[in-house]
């Protein structure tokens, strides 16, 4: 069974920002946003890039934005 799992880099993180309110949405979406660790609108957090977190983000993709690190370098560098 372990052979079917997708190998994830332990150091890979995702930046998640809550951008749209959960008012008027189903309780499942509200609960998922809270389970991700988001408490306030426009709050940004960093999550480990795991299949569990990817599934939760897929469920509330219409409420959050996700930034993935660039493969060529650090996410905070500006290209000149």
For 38-53, the pLDDT digits (tens) are 999 999 999 999 999 9
3-state secondary structure of 51: helix
Backbone angles phi, psi at 70, to 5 degrees: -75, 145
**What residues make up the domain containing 61?**
18-67
Residues in the chain: 80
pLDDT band, residue 30 (cuts 50/70/90):
very high
Structurally, how many domains does the chain consist of? 1
Residue 69 pLDDT > 90, yes or no? no
Q: Could you tell me the CATH number of the domain that includes residue 24?
A: 3.30.1390.20
**Residue 73 included in any domain:** no
Rounded to the nearest angstrom, the gap between the alpha carbon of residue 65 and the centroid of all alpha carbons in its chain is: 7
**Residue 1 included in any domain:** no
CA 68 vs CA 38, 47, 48: distances in Å = 18, 10, 11
Stated pTM of the model: 0.73
**Residue 75 included in any domain:** no
pLDDT band, residue 4 (cuts 50/70/90):
very low
């Amino acid at each position: 069974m372990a052979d079917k799992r997708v190998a994830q880099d332990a150091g890979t993180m995702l930046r998640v920002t809550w951008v749209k309110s959960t008012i008027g949405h189903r309780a499942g979406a509200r609960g998922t946003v809270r389970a991700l660790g988001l408490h306030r609108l426009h709050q940004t957090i960093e999550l480990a890039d795991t299949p569990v977190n990817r599934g939760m983000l897929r469920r509330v993709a219409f409420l959050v934005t996700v930034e993935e690190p660039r493969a060529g370098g650090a996410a905070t560098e500006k290209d000149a």
